[in-house]
Amino acid sequence: MEVNLRKFSDIIDKHHKKIIAIWIIIFLISIPVAIHLFSIVSYNVTSSSNNSSSGNSVQLIVSVSNNSFSNSSKSFFERISDAFTYRNITSIYSVEYNILNSSYYTIKKNSEIALSLAYSKYNLTPKTAPKSINNTIIENIAKGIQENLNDSGLVLRNSSYDFIIGVIKDYTNSTPLYIINQYNFTTYPIVQNSTETETLINYNHTTTITIVNNSNYSFVNSYIGKISGNYGIKSYVTGSTGLSSNIKNETDFGTFLAIAIGILMVIIITGFIFKSPIAAFVPLMVYGIDLTIAFSIFYVIYHVILRSTVSFFDPALAAILMLGISTDYLVYMLYRFKQELKKNHRESVKLSVGGAGAAILVSGTTVILAYSILSGFNLAFLGSTGILDSVGVLVVLISAVTLMPSILISFGKKVFYPNFKPGFSFERAFEKLAEFDYKNRYVIISIFVFLIAIAAYFFVVYHPGLNFLGLLPNSQSKTAFYIATNNFKFDPIDPLIINITPAQNLNSTAIYNSIKSMNGVAYTQIGGANGSFRVTAYLKPLGFSTAALNDYQNINNYLKKINVKYTITGLQVFLGNAVQTMNSDVPLLILALGSMIFTVLFIILFSVYTPLRLVLLIIANVIAANGITLVIFHYILSFPFISIAQVFLITSIMGVGVDYDIFLVMRIREYVKMGKNNFEAVKLGLMKSGPVVASIGVIFSVVFLSLIASGVPIIAEVGFIVAVGILIDSVLSVLFIVPSIMFLLQKYNWWPGLRKYERNK
């Protein structure tokens, strides 16, 4: 490979000006296309078309301080109805005021007619009739009215008879307003037996939900915010549109801030390594070209070819990943160029391309394949991640081996102004580090294995979920979900809709009662027609929570067990299936990535033990980073730990993390091929590559840590877990674990490949 790369470097040397010109032309053409990428970004995290929080409607959750049926509340809702076309959704706690009210006046009117006929028949009046006759007449009329109400689709409670008697006798405490204000659903005498009630109200009449049929979230939010205070009501506009709007506002600024901080840290660290402001900005200039071209390709792929959208965190993660990868490759190339720097800088570039270029090509290939494998799994919310990241890294890789050498040929050692001295003074410290690793290799490996065993427990036992809501920025839309669930004692926004087609002799009542009696189910409604029936199940926990996903799985498992034809829709179904798929695919993903890495490295190194050791070590680093993030985010900060973070960690560390090991191993291999024995080769490899590997690893980690500044916890969690994994791999693993293992394996590092080496004495 090195020989072919040196031939390739001759071509670059001959056409370096044309190469730079081509990159600049492509960059300028890409600018207007890249800008359009943000027009196809989707900020929706409730990707279930069947839950009530989705669609163009905006849900309005209103928390009323005193009573939903007060005069001020009534005026508030009348004001809303004047401004919007609205309808209200249904719950068993829904109390249709109009039904109670119309029932009250129906009873009163019918009883007056019946009483008039009864007294006329006996030529009596209530005043002249004996008390016993009055009671008998009233009781008979009440029973008749009760039977009529039973036949009219109303649910009558045990208290309905007393309510009817009270209406007939004109008792004050039988009025609809009195009953609604003083009692809860369990004691209402008359309730509509229908799934099309008009008002969703919680059990103690403090919270109502209204769906406003207006997709302009900003207008609805602004209008409600202005008027709610005038009626003493605290209101929150929410739903998928509301969440998306809040996410967009936070992520757009947060992503810009994170990238800005990442760029600043790259400048500082790179400038410190080379002690040159020019060298600090060269990688960023190339990164800017790469990112623009990559974003334009993203737009063409998803908008022009696939006619689709990309998730809101994909461009952010792709931009940060490209910044980290670009810095890694370009700084590594610069570092090698400075080490090889001679009077003829063009020859130095050729040596750098032959040495560093080989490591960059191998590592870049593994990263691209890793994200390509991720896209092949087609996991929810990560469908575009793998494709975008693969394309982005490919652009970075091509520029690293074409554009960067062309720049170095054009400007030579000027890129290191004012520090033109070749080599680095801190290499001696890494020579001593190699000696420390050799002397303590058994202790280092033992401690590492012990710590990984502890982290492995968390990796195996704890399965992450997809509670996006807990990782979204704080906003009124997010708050509304929690208020609704807390005040209703269940999630009124995202019910499960279960459609069952009964087979012959199937007891639909038994199925309904079984679902109704499950622990996580707050209540159910039943309906349906044409030989099937529908069960609407409102779950106690918030729809995004792991508990809600478990409740959905219990219902799903029950329906499978009784062998009926059914479909279930709802937010929990979408998230539950996504979590189940991700968790079940994690071992397969690790196996696929591990096999790919082993195969690529075996072909390049023609060695069995080094690729195998590298794969096992990378998996260990994944387990360690997973455990650290779980403890910090979940157990200390009380944030949900989501499957996306774990999957992105696995893909990134097994793709990107392998870079640092490859950079070190390829340098050690160079010295082995020069005839150095195992000890000398490992020591020289760590001395020459250790500083830059640790430096670019820290840069990459800091770049991803900058995502914490985005203010979006979901992006911050992904950034943190990748940063920790890279830091473990590039500092702890490469500087301590890898040399210790290679000191132990000796000739088996290269078996059955390179044979000309000596045992370490």
DSSP state of 473: P
Sorting pLDDT into bands at 50, 70 and 90, what band is 92?
very low
Sorting pLDDT into bands at 50, 70 and 90, what band is 508?
confident
Structure tokens that stand for 610 in this block: 């080094």
What pLDDT was estimated at residue 93? 43
Do 760 and 743 contact (CB within 8 A), yes or no? yes
Output the CA torsion 414→420→422→424 (10° steps): -110
As a whole number, the mean pLDDT across the chain is 84
Sorting pLDDT into bands at 50, 70 and 90, what band is 160?
confident
What pLDDT was estimated at residue 62? 67
Which residue would you say has higher pLDDT here, 168 or 215? 168
Sorting pLDDT into bands at 50, 70 and 90, what band is 757?
very low
Q: What percent of the chain has pLDDT over 90?
A: 30
Residues 6+ apart with CB under 8 A from 172: 178
What pLDDT was estimated at residue 531? 63
Average pLDDT rounded to a whole number, residues 188-209: 66
Which residue would you say has higher pLDDT here, 436 or 311? 436
CA angle 699, 705, 706 (to 5 degrees): 95
Query: Cβ–Cβ contacts within 10 Å for residue 72, how many?
Result: 14
Do 90 and 195 contact (CB within 8 A), yes or no? yes
Structure tokens that stand for 408 in this block: 């170095």
What pLDDT was estimated at residue 325? 93
Q: 127-136 long-range CB contacts below 8 Å, 24 or more apart?
A: none
Which residue would you say has higher pLDDT here, 746 or 127? 746
Which tens digit of pLDDT belongs to each residue from 690-745? 888 898 999 999 988 988 887 778 888 989 999 999 999 999 999 999 999 999 98
Which tens digit of pLDDT belongs to each residue from 636-680? 988 899 988 899 899 888 888 888 888 899 889 889 888 888 999
Distance CA 485, CA 467 (A): 15
Distance CA 479, CA 473 (A): 10
For the chain, give every domain's residue range: 495-569
- Across 123-132, 420-429, 614-623, 688-697, least confident range: 420-429
Average pLDDT rounded to a whole number, residues 337-358: 84
Helices (H) and strands (E) in the chain, counts: 25, 13
Distance CA 637, CA 628 (A): 12
- Across 230-244, 542-556, 571-585, 634-648, least confident range: 230-244
The pTM is what?
0.79
Average pLDDT rounded to a whole number, residues 527-546: 81
Asked whether the predicted pLDDT for residue 102 surpasses 80, the reply is no
What pLDDT was estimated at residue 197? 40
Maximum mean pLDDT: which of 43-52, 371-380, 621-630: 621-630
What pLDDT was estimated at residue 570? 87
What pLDDT was estimated at residue 500? 86
Do 295 and 30 contact (CB within 8 A), yes or no? yes
Asked whether the predicted pLDDT for residue 416 surpasses 70, the reply is yes
- Across 90-104, 181-195, 504-518, least confident range: 90-104
Dihedral of alpha carbons 346, 348, 352, 354, sign: positive
Do 400 and 337 contact (CB within 8 A), yes or no? no
Distance CA 293, CA 287 (A): 10
What pLDDT was estimated at residue 196? 39
CA distances to 317, 392, 454, 639 from 632, in Å: 21, 30, 15, 9
Question: Three-class SS string for 142-210?
Answer: HHHHHHHHHCCCEEECCCHHHHHHHHHCCCHHHCHHHHHHHCCHHHCCEEECCCCCCCEECCCCCEEEE
- Helices assigned H by DSSP within 489-570: 508-516, 546-561
Distance CA 41, CA 37 (A): 7
Which tens digit of pLDDT belongs to each residue from 594-631? 999 999 889 888 889 889 999 999 999 999 999 999 99
What pLDDT was estimated at residue 680? 92
Which tens digit of pLDDT belongs to each residue from 33-44? 999 998 888 877
What's 495-569's CATH class?
alpha beta
What pLDDT was estimated at residue 54? 44
Asked whether the predicted pLDDT for residue 193 surpasses 60, the reply is no
Which tens digit of pLDDT belongs to each residue from 380-396? 777 688 889 999 999 99
Asked whether the predicted pLDDT for residue 97 surpasses 70, the reply is no
393, 274, 268: which is closest to 331 by C-alpha?
A: 274
